[in-house]
Structure 1
Amino acid sequence: MEHITEVKIYKSPKKVYNAIAKSIIKLTQESQQKAFDIALSGGNSPKGLFKKISKKYKDEIPWKRIHLWWGDERCVSPDSEQSNYKMTVDYLLSNIDIPEENIHRIRGEEDPEQEAKRYSKELEDTLNSRGKDPVFDLIILGLGDDGHTASIFPDQIELFDYPENCAVAQHPISGQKRITLTGNVLNNANRIYFLVTGENKAMRVSEIMNDNEAAKLLPAYYIAPTNGDLIWFLDEEAASLIS
């Protein structure tokens, strides 16, 4: 796939987390920008990364200049065990010294449609833009077993062409509502890191990497930054079926 800049494969999940952490340190330390905007992934994927940063690298990242956003959020309260924000507080935010105003959470407890509009506007008002869309310096994404990324699911691939920055999505099985960044914003980023570990992801990874017909049904296949780099960080298990 011509829009993938690089695929990096590591022996274990821990080595994946370490590599991404070091890459974030390098990016943020070398950046001259007053604000460096990062959108975080939810779910289980980033827990190990957040732990690694908290334990080993928390003093090497210039948090005063880092602004943290989310790629998606479940429509639940911020103290719910299902909240991506709460997971980030537990594993990262509670361990680092970052100004409160640098944390831009999606308010999962609010009316979903209204909150998608509000977050869209906050992105527009705060981030740099390229064309009509806001620009993230870095977006970290995970990959679901079903090929979803952020909260764009296989039955909602049209969210890649959605005109607004954020949309309300629905989990195809549980019916739970979520707020997600849409394709225009995702693909306008300066760089995207896919963090994917585990054997259960191997099939989807191979479909995408081998450009199979089946991949066209997977939202993650459509992550293709127009002006940026796309780097996959995989462990050996997740990469085991790439031909």
Structure 2
Amino acid sequence: MLGVHGELTVVDDLPGAFARTVIEAWQARTGELFHFALCGGSTAGPCYERLAAESENVIDWLSVDVYWGDERCVPGDDPDSNQHLGRQALLERVGGANAVYPMSCDEGPDAYALRLGEVGKLDVIHLGMGPDGHTASLFPGSEALDADPGQLVARNVDPSGRNKLPRMTLTFSAIARARLVVFTVAGAAKRDTLRAVIDGADLPAGRVTADRVVWLVDRDAAPA
């Protein structure tokens, strides 16, 4: 048990464990389409590259609709964009998907929330965790932490100023609608924060709920 919610597994091959988890979720899907939300960050790229490699001849990507859990307010082809990372590390390697729904700060949160409302449950949401305990773009002390329960997407900023760009993010309510949330956490810089989450600290990552929450953690990030 991890903090209040979740299952924690320490793994030697984090990208491989992530790929296997997503493939298993796709194989166990209950609907015709599989709804999969991507994230950004340094851990996500290797995870998506491995998923692309290991899903060949396994996942039918024409059955997959792709979303994002958060996005920086930059153009989609900007290197800082989560969309850019997802396309480069995953979608271009698998040849695309049935449909791709990038977040756009220009369109605003309401348009994205409308699409999510039509979908209902997402099958998998991939999340990371920052050294400050943020996940998606839900930063400690930020306004989006207290979004109305009916609000699925919010604009948000990091009040600490460490993350300079304004963002769009899924809210806790939107994440809670997932069948499976998969956290991937890597590196010694995350170890103390992960220990705090395990111990029940009130950090954004520790507040995530869903039908099932799985934490895949490499040995450097794993608390002793």
The question of a shared fold, defined as TM-score above 0.5 by the shorter chain, is answered with yes
Q: Give the aligned residue type for 1:221.
A: G
Q: Is it true that 1:196 corresponds to 2:196 in the alignment?
A: no
Match of 1:102 among 82, 99, 102: 99
Per the TM alignment, residue 4 of structure 1 is displaced from its structure 2 partner at its CA by 3.1
Amino acid at match of 1:103: V
Q: CA deviation at 1:44?
A: 1.5
Measure the CA separation in 2 of the matches of 1:171 and 1:4.
24
The question of whether the paired residues in 2 share the 8 Å contact of 1:168 and 1:179 is answered with yes
CA distance in 1, matches of 2:6, 2:70: 24
Question: 1:169 matched to which residue of 2?
Answer: 156
Question: Post-superposition shift, 1:165?
Answer: 0.8
Shift of 1:171: 2.7
What is the TM-score normalised by the length of structure 2? 0.91
Change in 2 beyond 3 A, CA 1:6/1:157:
farther
**Greater mean alpha carbon deviation, residues 42-51 or residues 170-179:** 170-179
Distance in 2 (alpha carbons) for counterparts of 1:25 and 1:81: 27
Answer whether contact 1:160 1:222 (CA < 8 A) is retained. Answer: no
Q: Where does residue 132 of structure 1 map in the other structure?
A: none
Q: 1:2: how far off?
A: 6.7
The one-letter code matched in structure 1 to 2:92 is S
State the Cα distance separating 1:154 from its structure 2 match.
0.2
User: Hey, what's the Cα distance between the residues in 2 that align with 1:85 and 1:158?
Assistant: 21
Indicate how the Cα distance of structure 1 residues 7 and 84 shifts in structure 2: closer, same or farther if over 3 A, else same.
Answer: same
Residue correspondence of structure 1 range 40-59 to structure 2 within 5 A: 40-59=38-57
Q: Which is richer in helix? A: 1
Is structure 2 residue 208 aligned with structure 1 residue 240?
no
Shift of 1:237: 1.0
Alignment of 1:222 onto 2:207: yes
Answer whether contact 1:28 1:62 (CA < 8 A) is retained: no
| Partner SS state of residue 24, structure 1 | helix
Q: Map of 1:202-213 to 2, 5 A cutoff? A: 202-211=191-200
Deviation at 1:58, TM superposition (A): 3.0
* Alignment correspondent of 1:115: 108
Deviations 1:44-70 (A, max 9, x none): 221111111223333321211111100
Equivalent residues of 2:7, 2:213 under 8 A apart:
yes
Distance 2:33 2:64 in 1: 6
AA partner of residue 189 (structure 1) = A
Does structure 1 retain, via aligned residues, the 8 Å contact 2:144–2:155? no
Write the mapping of 1:84-103 to structure 2, written as runs, cut at 5 A. Answer: 84-99=82-97, 102-103=99-100
Q: Which residue of 2 aligns with 1:140?
A: 126
Tell me, in whole angstroms, the C-alpha distance in 2 between the residues paired with 1:117 and 1:80: 23
Tell me if structure 2 keeps the 8 A contact 1:157–1:219.
no
Given that residues 159 and 167 in structure 1 are in contact (C-alpha distance below 8 angstroms), is that contact kept between their aligned partners in structure 2?
no
Q: TM-score, with normalisation over the residues of structure 1?
A: 0.84
Alpha carbon RMSD of aligned pairs, Å?
A: 1.7
What does the per-residue CA deviation read over 1:127-176, in whole Å, with 9 as the maximum and x for residues that have no partner?
Answer: 12xxxxxx211111000111000000001165354331100001331442
In the TM superposition, residue 191 of structure 1 has moved relative to its aligned partner by 1.2
Counterpart-to-counterpart distance in 2, 1:209 and 1:237: 16
Aligned identity (percent) is 27
User: Unpaired segments of 5 or more residues in structure 2?
Assistant: none
Structure 1: stretches of 5+ with no match in the other structure = 129-134
Q: CA deviation at 1:73?
A: 0.4
Cα distance change, pair 158–170 in 1 and its aligned pair in 2 (3 A): closer
Aligned counterpart for 1:150 among listed residues 127, 136, 156: 136
